[in-house]
Amino acid sequence: MADPVFPHQFSRAGNTTHTGEVFSIPQEEQLAYGTAGFRFRAEKLPFIVFRCAYVASLRARQLDSAIGVMITASHNPAADNGVKLVDPSGDMLSQQWEKYATEIVNATDEDLPSAVRALEKQMSQVEKSRISSGQTKNARVVCGMDTRISGPHLMSAARAGSALFNVQFVDVGIVTTPMLHYTVKSFNEPEFAEPTNQGYYRAISSAFRELYGITQEPEGSRYQPHVIVDCANGVGAPRLREFLEHIPRDMLEIELRNERGELNHDCGADFVKISQKMPTEFRNSEEGKEGKCVSFDGDADRILYFRGKGAESGDSESVELFDGDRIAVLFAMYLKEQLDEFAAIKTNYRLTMGIIQTAYANGASTRFIRDSLKIETVIVPTGVKHLHEAASEFDVGIYFEANGHGTVVFSEQFNSAIRRAPSSIMCIRRLALFSRVINETVGDAFADLMAIEMCLRHFGWSMDDWNQKLYSDVPNIQIKVPVDDRSIFKTTNAEQTLLKPDGIQKRIDEDVAKFKSSRAFIRPSGTENIVRIYAEADTVENTLLLGKSLEQVVLSIRSA
């Protein structure tokens, strides 16, 4: 096979942006496939997306399957964009192929054909034979994008990259990241769902409506079915409106805000989590302690609940967060109740359940899970791929990052025991339907919203109940510090201990020792040249002091 011809406008030297400008990428600048793929200022992305789509097309031919390409920068500012690849099951790209993608993106324009040939050699003889004989009728690249202005140009780059191998290109347009994951899986497993937006909406909403129908609120229920959603001015707004056409308003009443402003600006899950303040278009006077508010991120794969602290607090901006930790615990309580009933009936089955967290999990949540719920917890490095992999070791694996990105995954043994079992037993029926409401492929703000509301209705809980019946968060803070080179920061122990630069962990330990019930760590971002600081302590004042002290530690390294 002759070497493919690579368009100049998608090369390092001739990288043409959506504004028509040429933005060259110096060869000495090496790019890495991070925890969320490649993510940079949009002007760097055309040649990266082009090459990633080429890798996706090769992967699609290798497996004779649909492979996903999602163009998004999630919670980043509107000027950024990014690209990540999705494997046939709807999961993140395999780690081996992350390595291949990095190698292809970093190849010089002159060396790219030989780098491509080297990658092709990694395929087995069976795969090569299938490709050469044309037995790749299911191979396709399925591409979606969020609402950023650079999206259409990058979609063109993806189309051009996949065309090099004559792989079918499916442009699904403006979708949430979870919808793209769900659609990829649906292409490869037709029995899962129809691979369209409407197929996604119908699959999740029908399970929700059926579960709603068998869920009886307990006597004295304080549950309120009204939710106000901060859409982060992103793709969540138009797609959620379509989704809600399938949810009767007498089941759930949802009000949308932040639909058409600047993407992620003073709104969205990342803003609410980091600043712990009301997003724009929300006011404490309107959505105080009686309100139930939700925040998505720009591509709607994160969800956080929040409410105002109330007029009596004297603070019109600060919020009380119900983050990924509290969502994970809520799911765990609901699922454990059903699994305990199931175990009492089917004593021959022993389904395991675990909760996967990162170092960002609030210490109070981890203690509650272990001591009160008696459920196994596992701490892994930041990044969905690490959480998803660890969760897959359980029959019911719940994973959430504190930032609100998470889901529940279910094993084949769960499928055999629950999904394929007679549904006349109520706990089995609840488990089967809950597992269909959830989007197993990735964290999904829409699906998680439906599941959270169903759990709250099942328990008859108000926001007060959800807050008071679990645990009290330890005060915590997150700080971002820009650095010139994040690669000098090396961690271990699920990113909770800093190995490099030398001596910094000792300084962290000394600062932590000054405060009661304190914990802190410093880690580099997986996508940006910043260092992230996390700190918690017994009081808000001490937490702020600890965080600021560690910020000075990082600044001293940067200025050295």
Whether the per-residue pLDDT at 314 is higher than 60: the answer is no
| 347 pLDDT more than 60 | yes
The answer to whether residue 417 sits within a structural domain is: yes
The pLDDT of residue 4? 67
Strand partners, 305: 294, 322
**Residue-wise burial string across 321-342, b where 16 or more C-beta atoms lie within 10 A, e elsewhere:** bbbbbbbbbbbbbbbbebbebb
For the cut 90, the answer to whether the pLDDT of residue 242 exceeds it is yes
Q: Assess contact for 433 and 450: CB atoms under 8 A.
A: no
Q: In this structure, what token pair is assigned to residue 73?
A: 């920068």
Residue 524's beta-bridge partner residues?
Answer: 531
The mean pLDDT value of the chain amounts to 92
Annotated binding-site residue? 215? no
CATH number at residue 367: 3.40.120.10
Same domain (yes/no): 444, 488 = no
504 and 452 Cβ atoms separated by less than 8 Å: no
DSSP 8-class letter at 142:
E
Shared domain check, 132 and 96: yes
Report whether 527 belongs to an annotated binding site.
Answer: yes
- 285 known ligand binder: no
Pick the catalytic residue: 74, 295, 435, 518?
74
Q: Are residues 505 and 525 in the same domain?
A: yes
Which sign does the torsion angle of CA 173, 175, 180, 182 carry?
Answer: negative
* Model pLDDT for residues 485-519, shown as the tens digit of each residue: 899 999 999 999 999 999 999 999 999 999 998 99
Q: Please check whether residues 482 and 426 belong to one and the same domain.
A: no
**Section 272-291 average pLDDT:** 79
Indicate the pTM of the whole model.
Answer: 0.91
In-domain check, residue 25: yes
DSSP secondary structure string for all residues of 370-419 = IIII--EEEE--SSHHHHHHHHTTSSEEEEE-TTS-EEEEE-HHHIIIII
In a domain, 454, yes or no: yes
Number of domains, the chain: 4
CB atoms within 10 A of CB 2: 5
74 noted as active-site residue: yes
401 assigned to a ligand binding site: yes
Residue pointed to by tokens 């994970």:
328
CA distance 18 to 34: 24
270 among the known binding-site residues? no
Residue-wise pLDDT tens digits, 521-531? 999 987 788 99
**314 and 330 housed in the same domain:** no
DSSP letter for each residue of 452-504:
HHHHHHHHT--HHHHHHSS-PPPPEEEEEEE-S-GGG-EEETTTTEEEESTTH
Give the residue numbers spanning the domain of 142: 8-174
